Structure 1
Amino acid sequence: MEIGTMLRNKRKMLGLTQDQFIHGIISKSFYSKVERGLNEISANDLLALLAANNINLNDFVNNTDSGSKSDRLKVEILVAFNQKNRHKVQELNKKIQVSNCDQTIKLSSLLINAILNNELDKISLSTRNEIKRKLFNVEKWWNNVYTLQLFCNSMLIFNFDELTFYMEQLAKQKDISTISFDAQRLIGSICINYFHNCYKNHQTDDAKCGYQIIENLAKLPDLTIYRIIKNYYQALFTGNLKEANEIIEFFKDYDLKEIYKVLP
Structure 2
Amino acid sequence: MQIGSLLKEYRLSQGKRQKEFVGEVVSQSYYSKVEKNANRITAEDLIDLLNYNNIPLWEFFSRLNHGSRLHKQEIDDLDTVMIEAYYAADKEKLANVINLIDESNLSEKDKQQQKLIARGWLESTKKPDEPNDNELRQKLKEQVFSSPNFNKNNMALYCNFMDFYDLKSNIAISKQIIKQYQSDTDIDVQRVLLSIIANMLILTIENKKPDLAKFFAKVASKISTNPAIFFYKCCIYFFENANMYQITRDKKYLIKCDNAVTVFKELGMEAYGNGLNEFIKRQLSNYPSL
Q: CA deviation at 1:93?
A: 4.8
Q: Say whether residues 1:161 and 2:168 are aligned partners.
A: yes
Letter of the structure 2 residue corresponding to residue 134 of structure 1: Q
Identify which of 135, 138, 141 aligns with 2:144: 135
Q: Distance in 2 between matches of 1:95 and 1:54?
A: 22
Q: Distance in 1 between matches of 2:62 and 2:166?
A: 38
| Structure 2 equivalent of residue 225 of structure 1 | 234
- Give unpaired runs (5+ residues) of structure 1: 1-50, 65-70
Q: Distance in 1 between matches of 2:99 and 2:63?
A: 17
Q: Say whether residues 1:80 and 2:78 are aligned partners.
A: yes
Letter of the structure 2 residue corresponding to residue 160 of structure 1: L
Residues 19-68 of structure 1, C-alpha deviations (whole Å, 9 max, x = no match): xxxxxxxxxxxxxxxxxxxxxxxxxxxxxxxx9x957697368x58xxxx
Answer yes or no: is the 8 Å Cα contact 2:178–2:193 preserved in 1. Answer: no
- Give unpaired runs (5+ residues) of structure 2: 1-55, 83-92, 266-272, 285-290
Q: Distance in 1 between matches of 2:62 and 2:112?
A: 22
Q: CA deviation at 1:153?
A: 3.0
| Structure 2 equivalent of residue 179 of structure 1 | 186
Give the alignment of 1:1-264 within 5 angstroms.
59=64, 76-84=74-82, 86=94, 89-94=97-102, 101-102=108-109, 106-115=112-121, 124-137=133-146, 141=150, 144=152, 146-173=153-180, 175-176=182-183, 178-180=185-187, 182-220=188-226, 222=230, 224-226=233-235, 228-236=237-245, 239-242=247-250, 245-252=251-258, 256=262, 258=273, 259-263=276-280, 264=284
Greater shift after overlay, 171-180 or 112-121? 112-121
Letter of the structure 1 residue corresponding to residue 174 of structure 2: M
Answer yes or no: is the 8 Å Cα contact 2:238–2:257 preserved in 1. Answer: no
Q: CA deviation at 1:169?
A: 1.3
Task: State the aligned residue count.
Answer: 196
Letter of the structure 2 residue corresponding to residue 59 of structure 1: L
Question: Taking every aligned residue pair, what percent have the same amino acid on both sides?
Answer: 15
Larger Rg: 2
| Structure 1 equivalent of residue 25 of structure 2 | none
Q: CA deviation at 1:253?
A: 5.2
State the Cα RMSD in Å. Answer: 4.2
Q: CA deviation at 1:86?
A: 3.6
Answer yes or no: is the 8 Å Cα contact 2:156–2:192 preserved in 1. Answer: yes
Q: Distance in 2 between matches of 1:210 and 1:232?
A: 13
Q: CA deviation at 1:210?
A: 1.7
Answer yes or no: is the 8 Å Cα contact 1:191–1:210 preserved in 2. Answer: yes
Change beyond 3 A, Cα 1:219–1:92 = closer
Answer yes or no: is the 8 Å Cα contact 2:181–2:189 preserved in 1. Answer: no
Letter of the structure 1 residue corresponding to residue 216 of structure 2: G
Q: CA deviation at 1:122?
A: 7.4
TM-score for the superposition, normalised by structure 1: 0.55
Change beyond 3 A, Cα 1:154–1:225 = same
Q: Distance in 2 between matches of 1:173 and 1:192?
A: 18
Residues 180-210 of structure 1, C-alpha deviations (whole Å, 9 max, x = no match): 1x44234323222222222222333333442
Q: Distance in 1 between matches of 2:113 and 2:135?
A: 11
Q: Distance in 2 between matches of 1:112 and 1:165?
A: 26
Q: Distance in 2 between matches of 1:163 and 1:92?
A: 32
